[in-house]
Amino acid sequence: MSLRPFLRLTNPPIVVLLTFTALTAGIIGGGVQKPLLLLDVVVAIALCSMGARTLTNYVDRDMDARMTRTRDRPLPAGEVAPPVALALGIGLTISGLVSAFPLGWLYVLIIALGIVDNVAVYNLLTKRRTHWNIVLAAPSGGVPALVGYASMAGRVDAFAILLMALVVLWTPIHIWSLAIRYREDYSRADVPMLPVTLGVRAGIRWIAATTLLLALFTVALPFVPGSPFGYLTLIVAAVMGFALIVLSVALMRSPTILRSWRLFKFTSPYLAVLFTLMAIDVAVVHPPW
């Protein structure tokens, strides 16, 4: 039996992004000096993310079968039996939480709350009931960055919350942009994504407004008390933040689907680029030792 359907069930691209934010946030928090603990963060977040994504695919299997974009996923395509997917999701999640024990009970609890937010609050309770669904689910996406930084720094401070906020703000931008492009799919599956229920123009304006907030939070990075950054992050935050402000203001003035998709393309690698450069700034350009 091929393992590929089981791997696809975990949504590797999403798992890689979440694990990468945990890794880079951990480096920013001083993880280079704690390599074994940083490795534990990576393993725990990877396993929990894989488990959560498997469970959400289990919950969404009927909806995925009605959407062109998702009907070839392993569950609707019949490549994996639902009970097997459920068992796999539970097993990966428990393994991830157990792996997080060396980080401390606080971080195990935070990761567990993130899983509950993603699987229960979003997929089970709100995804099919309100167009604010992804806003309620966004905190779960920010948990890896929060845990990565705070577990290495030894505290949950304002900077840890800001790193989490970057991911939280990025999430609805990404999902709403996809919902505009695939609005017929979401409508067919009766999923009330904001651009589907409020209309495309309203959805685009919400994307622009959220992007503007993301830009402001980015620019604030070097100025938060306890910030470990030097001039590299100051320059990067200013350039990337300014670019987002220009794009979001232009989109608010002319809310077209083409402009929205261009913004989506720009923001897709945004987190990866920003977190990578921040980690380089802390670990290479301005190391604390």
Place of tokens 């074994």: 36
Q: How many CB atoms lie within 10 A of CB 83?
A: 9
Residue 144 confidence (pLDDT): 97
Residue 256 confidence (pLDDT): 80
pLDDT band at residue 286, thresholds of 50, 70 and 90? low
pLDDT band at residue 96, thresholds of 50, 70 and 90? very high
What lies within 8 Å, CB to CB, of 207 at 6+ separation is: 172, 173, 176, 177, 180, 251, 260, 263
Average pLDDT over the chain reads 90
Residue 288 confidence (pLDDT): 58
- Mean of pLDDT values over 49-59: 96
Residue 268 confidence (pLDDT): 84
| 67-82 pLDDT per residue, tens | 888 899 999 999 999 9
From residue 57, give the alpha-carbon distance in Å to each of 72, 119, 234: 12, 9, 39
Question: What is the number of alpha carbons within 13 Å of residue 135 lying toward its C-beta?
Answer: 10
pLDDT at 1 over 60: no
Long-range CB pairs of 249-252, under 8 A, 24+ apart, other chains included: 249/208, 249/212, 251/204, 251/205, 251/207, 251/208, 251/211, 252/205, 252/208, 252/209, 252/212
pTM of the predicted model as reported, rounded to 2 decimal places: 0.92
- Mean of pLDDT values over 96-117: 96
pLDDT at 174 over 90: no
pLDDT at 284 over 80: no
- Yes or no: say if 122 and 137 are a contact pair by the CB < 8 Å rule: yes
pLDDT band at residue 285, thresholds of 50, 70 and 90? low
**CA–CA separation, 183 and 256 (whole Å):** 15
**Which range is least confidently modeled, 27-31, 107-111, 133-137, 225-229?**
225-229
Residue 98 Cα to chain centre, angstroms: 22
**CA–CA separation, 30 and 103 (whole Å):** 14
- Mean of pLDDT values over 38-52: 97
Report which of 260, 258, 244, 274 is spatially closest to residue 162, judged by C-alpha positions.
274
Residue 255 confidence (pLDDT): 80
Going along the chain from its start, the domains and CATH numbers come out as: 4-285 (1.10.600)
**CA–CA separation, 180 and 159 (whole Å):** 33
pLDDT band at residue 115, thresholds of 50, 70 and 90? very high
Q: What is the share, in percent, of the chain residues with pLDDT greater than 70?
A: 97
**CA–CA separation, 266 and 289 (whole Å):** 35
| 246-264 pLDDT per residue, tens | 888 887 788 887 877 887 8
**CA–CA separation, 260 and 257 (whole Å):** 5
pLDDT band at residue 178, thresholds of 50, 70 and 90? confident
**Ranges 40-54, 207-221, 231-245, 251-265, most confident:** 40-54
